[in-house]
Amino acid sequence: MEYIQNNAIMIQLICTICMLLVTILYVVFTWIQSKYTKQAFLESIKQSKEDRQPYIVPTIERVSGVAFDASTYLRIQLSFEYALENVGDSSAVSVYTLLYARRQHSNDQKLVYAHLIPNYNYSIRQGIEVKDRIHFETDEFRDIVEDLEISHVKNVKRIETNPSQDPYKGPIIIMRVMYMNMMGQWFESMLEQELLELRFKLNEDKKIGKHVSNNEIKDKDVFEGYMINPCYSRLTRKMVTKEYVKDKLIECRKNAISESIFLDD
């Protein structure tokens, strides 16, 4: 007892130091715990945002064409009817749809662009499917038919000489769909599907005729196109930048319209 009384100040100092150390440890522990809790919370938000994204799946539903007298020339249009379905968890906004044909047997320009500017949808809500069409005009149509004719001739020869080999491919139709989520991030879904053939449609009985040839097209001819089975097509999706979207839109119809109309800053 006498010892405690004689060393009261020292004991009090030691107790104070111990309490201070405990307080410091508590503060440090609380700070670490708060930091990890905040990180976990931010990660959960990030994961939630990543999980709740739009996902546009494009499909080509029908290919048809028609030729008609345009007074000074024979005008031909090849139309691709398509559907865009949002199978994701949130709405897609500013949806641009571009269509190309990639020729397989040309030494010139490989890509053939569809006519006019890209199709545009303001938004496609989750679970919703929208339908539209894009068409190729006369010159583009003839380029596509030329590629089909070359692949047809090559495949006939391959069947005669080496039937075990894979057939030559026709033009690949590329549907590029670019869209934005609600946070301003851009995505691209791209479908690549082979156009197998174009055939004349016999109007009197709706039967399908022979292969379309550039040398045999005349006024009031109607065509029907056939795509390869979708299970042999290629569908990809990736995140892209706003600059990438601008570049693709300008590349598509750079001589038709200014970029400011495509994509606002």
- Encode pLDDT of 237-264 as tens digits: 999 999 999 999 888 766 444 344 445 5
Is the pLDDT score of 82 beyond 90? yes
For 181-221, what is each residue's pLDDT tens digit?
998 999 999 999 999 999 888 765 556 678 888 888 889 88
The predicted model gives 40-64 an average pLDDT of 73
Helix, strand counts (H, E) of the chain = 5, 11
Short-list 209, 98, 76, CA closest to 146: 76
Rounded to two decimals, the pTM is 0.75
pLDDT of residue 48: 44
Query: Are 209 and 197 spatial neighbours (Cβ–Cβ below 8 Å)?
Result: no
Q: What span, in angstroms and rounded, lies between the C-alpha atoms of 242 and 123?
A: 17
The confidence band for 128, taking pLDDT boundaries of 50, 70 and 90, is: very high
The predicted model gives 69-90 an average pLDDT of 91
Is the pLDDT score of 26 beyond 60? no
- List the structure tokens of 197: 């053939």
Q: What span, in angstroms and rounded, lies between the C-alpha atoms of 203 and 220?
A: 9
CB atoms within 10 A of CB 257: 15
pLDDT of residue 265: 46
- List the structure tokens of 69: 């007298």
pLDDT of residue 63: 94
For 91-124, what is each residue's pLDDT tens digit?
999 999 999 899 998 766 688 888 777 889 999 9
Query: Are 77 and 198 spatial neighbours (Cβ–Cβ below 8 Å)?
Result: no
- List the structure tokens of 33: 């715990």
The confidence band for 71, taking pLDDT boundaries of 50, 70 and 90, is: confident
pLDDT of residue 167: 86
Short-list 207, 226, 233, 171, CA closest to 61: 226
**Domain coordinates of the chain in residue numbers?**
2-49, 52-262
CA end-to-end span of the chain, whole Å?
82
pLDDT of residue 204: 58
Report the mean per-residue pLDDT for the chain.
Answer: 81
